[in-house]
Every structure is written in C-alpha cells, then in structure tokens.
Structure 1
C-alpha cells in the first residue's frame, strides 16, 4: 500500500484533454524541464501525493460506449473495470504534479489489481481518491503503486492498485516479487484487433498516450507501431468471463508483452479452486501479453 500523503489535492471540473497531455509531456522536453513548475524533484525526497474527485457520475452514454469497445453486456451497473477510467485523471494529475519525481512519459503499467465490494450503478455519485507513496525497488528501476478508493454514500465500494515501472534511478532495498501465475492456460479463442482500437479506446477513456494512437506517434516513443492499452486487455478479458463472476471479487493481472495493432491475440481461461485463471497470448508462439486470476472478495 502507498504511504498516506500529508495532503490530498482536489481535482475539480472535467479533467483531461490536450492540456493534460501537454503538462505530462513538458518534463521530457530539454530546457523546458528545468523551468519552475515543470522541473521534477529528486526521487529520494518523494514521500507521497494524493488527488481526489468528488461526486463523479458515470453517465449512461459513456458507460455504453465503454461496454461496446471492451465487450461487456449493457447493464444498469458499471463494468468491473469502468471506475479505472474515472480514476485515470487522478493518475495523470499526480504524474503531472511538480512534486511527483518522474515524468508521465515513460511510466509503464506493469500490474493492476481491482477489488469490487459491490456493484456500482450507472448514474451513482462516486467519490474517488488516488494516492501514491514512495517508490519501491525493482530490478529495472522503481515501482510506484497508485492506490485508488471509490466510495459511495460514505462506504468503500471499489478499490484498485495500478503499479507502474519507471526504469532507472534505482532505490535501495530488495525488490518484492510481482504477480506470478503458475501454469497459465494456453490456446483458446482468437481475437482480431483493428488498427484503430487504441484511438477508439482513447476517445472513451481519456488515455491518449501517443503509443496507442498511430504508427508515427508510437515510433516517436520507441515502438514499431501503436499498441493496445493494457487496461483494455484486462477489460476485454474480464468481459469474456463476466457472466461467471460474482459481484464482489478481486481480479489481479500482470501486463507482459505489448499487443501491437492491428494484431491477433488468443484468450484462454481455466477454473481453479479459488476462481478463474486467464491469459492473453500470442497465437504464433504462446508468449504472454497478459496473465490474470480472480478470487472472491
């Protein structure tokens, strides 16, 4: 869990858009990244930061559009992964804050855990808080855990931890083992993913990272062509078994190899004693794009 920051900042209005992307990009622009308000402080001095949003409502048109692109059925309750979209502006606000020691560009989402305590209704007013503590060690850099809590009527209804890897700038300590899935399922049904999937999902989620949009923008950041959002791969996997899952549950995933667009992936699932184990893999060689498991909360 993240260490509780001394202060929680409130994000008001409708966040996101071009201004958010600009703020996220400025810390990697030579010269500009030295300006006050843009310059990042040393990682060793960072102890934590939190942002919140109050009375956030998931409107029916956006929920239905999200369900359509991720494969969920249309219901009067939110898809399990939908609250992550409501929390994503908080993630970006933290990464864009001068107090956060790392640029948003280059942060790699490596793991995500969601715990739902009950279903959330479409149109229900929600209070969200995302906090992150000091970085923890990883063999390739540092890990930062963005812990989100979603409350309704004063009670916690949904929680998640998004773990991001930042390469370089090592901190002292012994790295903790990540999520390990023993003997994941293989093969399964194949899904063909279109070239515009990243743009479609970005339009709904607000996550318009250039690596997901076009070959040219992805190449500028070191990818041969655009890649699917990690949280889309989690959402699509959960949607495939949604009718077998309880309302209160935990779903953990590890994001492995990127999914290039257009492309084809294979989804396989297996029921275990504790829940379901699933995998999204390459049909060519079986290498994993995503490994996950569920259990009752």
Structure 2
C-alpha cells in the first residue's frame, strides 16, 4: 500500500537536496539507475472523490490521472535518493505522456513501478524522464512518462514566448471552454494529489522561488483537459502534452480542441486573448 504522508515530514529532505557537484559541467551525462515498485491496495473512495472533485471529473470510472498521483509519490521517493543527481526544488516539469489500455472502474489494485531514465542535454540544462507502469494480474493497464528539466542557471539560454493565434489555425475548433481558476486551486490540487510544491500553494511561498504568484500544477491542467474530454478519455487512449508557460493563479483561461481525424484531437490551454500558451497536446483514442 502507498500511504498518505504529511508534507512537513519530507519537506526538510526536499529543501536540503542539492545538485551533485559539477553535474552540469561534466562531459558525461549522469548515470543514475533508480527504480521502485509498490503494490497498490486500499485507495479509499474519499481519496478518489477528492481528486475527481479537484479536476471536475464527471466521466465513468476512475480518472486516468489518478494513478499519476500515486506514481508521484514514487517519483519523489526516487528524486530524494542520494544517487539522484539533482535538487528536487527547481525541477521543471516539461511534458507528460499517458497511455491507458483499459479503463479503471474501481479503486486501483495492482503493481505500480517507476524508474528514472533517458538523461539528455538540453539548452536549459539536463533533461530526464521518470516512467511509471501500472499492472493488474500481469496485464499492463496504464503507462506514464514525465519529462523534467534540471536547470543549469549558469548557462541556460533565454527563452522568449512567441505569441500564438489559435483563431488563425486552418482547422475548425469543435469546442471552447472558459475556465475560471481560483487562487486556492493549487492548495486544492495539492491536497488531492500529494504534490505540495511551494510554488503552487500561495503567492508568498511562490515568491520565495522567483514566481510573482502561485502557479497551477501542470498535471492539474492536463487532468482538467481530460475531464473536459471524458467521452474520449474514459476508456483506452493515449495523451501527450507539453507544459509551456506557467499558469498563474488566480486566472481565467480558454481550453480549445479540434478534431484532427476520426481517432485524434489536438488541444490547447491558453490565456483568454490566446497570446500565451500554457499547454498543448494530442489525444488519440
């Protein structure tokens, strides 16, 4: 069983974790082979309901991102290991891929495993992937890959946002939704997911890490998109997204999607004026 933990119990370890010496200056990429697995049992209906409420899920069965909240505990466990070469605070969640092979109709019970892999050079530092798998009766039910960037503050390239204009896209958008995001959204999702990163909790704690206000969790944004597309994401599917600009709280944003072909959708979350892109991705069903 993966048990809930109080964020204060691990906060000192998160705050004290540092980058390995010369990890960015070395000619060699990190060699870090870390993995973990746990048997998932006993997820309460209250816990699942809290997550569904946080991401506005009204589809059938269990939201496909709920398993990510369980995998997140494994991710944190791996990143706090002495062999993991980067500080935890300051990592940037760049992208996420989820593939669901069978819908979960009830609380998940099976084997969840995660591993760190795929270290690569990036113009902002070094990227890596944490992959997770959930198996039930030896059948693969769900798979996820989260790409992170460890920022090299000495050499990172300046990256400027390019304005976008969705209305100029030749495809016809089949759906638009406006979402009003409250200031306490980060705290609500943290309570539902277990991700208590200070940049998401309040303006005060976010400012300690260089943000003008709290920002929404990237995985909340993805989960909310899948909730809006529950008719396609309640069964077998795959969804790949990239997290672009930080989504500051409170805020109002626009979710847009259009049909690419009979089996896929393109999707975005943007500012109301479509000038800032927060998330873009593709859902294949």
Cα distance in structure 2, aligned partners of 1:185 and 1:132: 39
| Gaps in structure 1 of 5+ consecutive residues | 1-10, 29-38, 171-181
Q: Which residue of 1 aligns with 2:81?
A: 97
1:256 aligned to 2:241? no
* TM-score between the two structures when normalised by the length of structure 1: 0.82
Which residue of the other structure, out of 268, 271, 285, is the alignment partner of 2:256?
A: 268
Match of 1:278 in 2: 267
Indicate how the Cα distance of structure 1 residues 140 and 111 shifts in structure 2: closer, same or farther if over 3 A, else same: same
Structure 1 residue 21 and structure 2 residue 11: aligned?
yes
Pairing of 1:1-297 with structure 2 (within 5 A): 13-15=3-5, 17-28=7-18, 40=20, 43=23, 44-73=29-58, 75=60, 77-168=61-152, 188-245=176-233, 247-273=235-261, 274-296=263-285
Q: Is the 8 A contact 2:64 2:233 kept in 1?
A: no
| Secondary structure class of the residue paired with 1:147 | strand
Structure-2 residue corresponding to 1:174: none
Compared CA separation, residues 13 and 215, structure 1 to 2 (3 A): closer
- After TM superposition, the structure 1 stretch with the greater mean CA deviation from structure 2, 123-132 or 238-247, is 238-247
Q: Deviations over 1:177-216 (max 9, x none)?
A: xxxxx95887932111000000011011110000001111
- CA contact 1:185–1:279 (8 Å) conserved in 2: no
**Shift in CA distance, 142/247, structure 1 to aligned 2, threshold 3 Å:** same
Note if contact 2:32-2:84 (Cα within 8 Å) is conserved in structure 1: no
TM-score (norm 2): 0.86
Quickly say closer, same or farther: Cα 1:135–1:42, change in 2 above 3 A: farther
SS of match in other structure, 1:211: helix
CA RMSD, Structure 1 to Structure 2 (Å): 2.4
Report if the CA contact (8 A) 2:2-2:40 is conserved: no
